[in-house]
Every structure is written in C-alpha cells, then in structure tokens.
Amino acid sequence: MNITEIISSMGLQMRKARQLKNDRQKDLAARIGVSRLTIMKMEKGEAEAGRVPLETWLKASEHLDLLSTWQEVMIIKADPFEVYDKKIRHEEGIRKGRVKKLKHQIMGD
C-alpha cells in the first residue's frame, strides 16, 4: 500500500466516522480549527490531503474516535537491518575471541 492509498483510506474512514456522528463538514472543521475546505480535502484523500499537517489529522481522528485505529501506523517496528547487523557483530566478536585464544596458545602466553 503506497502513501496515496493510505491517505485515501484514512479520508474515507474519517468521512464515514463523521457521518456516523451526524457531524457536518463545517461542524468538524470548526471543532478542530480548520476550514471546511481542509476537511473536504482530507475526506477526498487526494494528493492535497497529503499536505494537511499531521496535527490536523490527529485532531480530527481524536474528535471522531479514530485515534486508536491508527495508533498501529505510528508504532516503530524493529529495523531488520539493525537486527542483522547486531547478529553479525556478535558472530565477529566470537571469531575474534577464538583468534586471540589461539594466538595465546601458540605463543605460549
């Protein structure tokens, strides 16, 4: 799923939630401190909706009780490269330890 599809999906969810609350676009706009045009852009989910500040999306989500449904999007998942790098560093550490031990045995230390 790309960014455009995500924004479009978020806009659709927002529109449905607003309608379920029997709110008009202008009512939601007034409650979160933006214009009705901004709400229209967000609900349409077009490219311009991507320029709407995150704070506005979060305020609308909070008002519409959608915040908990989008929290998963904000979770930072483990970086697979970091996990791999950690594993490699660990294996290299074991190898270096073996080499040092072998050197000590050969040199008679």
What's the pLDDT score for residue 73? 61
What's the pLDDT score for residue 103? 67
What's the pLDDT score for residue 94? 75
Return averaged pLDDT per consecutive 10 residues of the chain, 109 residues in all.
83 93 94 95 87 91 86 66 81 73 68
Dihedral (CA of 34, 40, 43, 44) sign: negative
Count Cα atoms within 13 angstroms, Cβ side, for 84: 3
What's the pLDDT score for residue 47? 78
